[in-house]
Amino acid sequence: MKTNFDVPQLLLRIALGLGFIFPVMDRMGWLGLPGEMGNAWGNWHNFISYTYTLMPYLDLPVVNIIGAIATVMEALFGIAMIIGFKTRMAAYGSAFLTLAFAVSMLLFAGYRAPFSYSVFVCSAASWLLAKIPYYKWSADNIA
């Protein structure tokens, strides 16, 4: 049986990529004010305040650094998945990053939080994307 993943992998790459890019834009304030048009944070301060609730065992300056690192990783994974550059590596990175988010949310925000925000789904989808053998319509195929 031959399985064709061409369209599903493209749609999954775009959905996951945008799923990382929009939250990054939200926390930078590029999508508007907090609560406006579905914005969760609306600015960096609100994002770090929420991040601190997921890491209460760390000092706020450390949380700020970790939030910045996570934001850079999310932006890179998002862009890489959308254009299909180092897709497998981006997908594995995304899977582990979102799994870390999910576990932290589970422990510090309650059992419903990671399910309400589909963080486990994002992690599993990233893992699935990493296992697809070939990424048609991607920068990985150039050269």
Confidence bin at 142 (pLDDT 50/70/90): confident
What is the arithmetic mean of pLDDT over 63-88? Answer: 98
Q: Are 10 and 140 in contact (CB under 8 A)?
A: no
Cα distances (Å, whole numbers) of residue 100 to 10, 20, 34, 123, 138: 25, 15, 25, 9, 27
Q: Assess whether pLDDT exceeds 90 at residue 71.
A: yes
Q: Assess whether pLDDT exceeds 90 at residue 34.
A: yes
Residue carrying structure tokens 């998945």: 81
Confidence bin at 4 (pLDDT 50/70/90): confident
pLDDT at 12: 97
Q: What is the pTM of this model?
A: 0.93
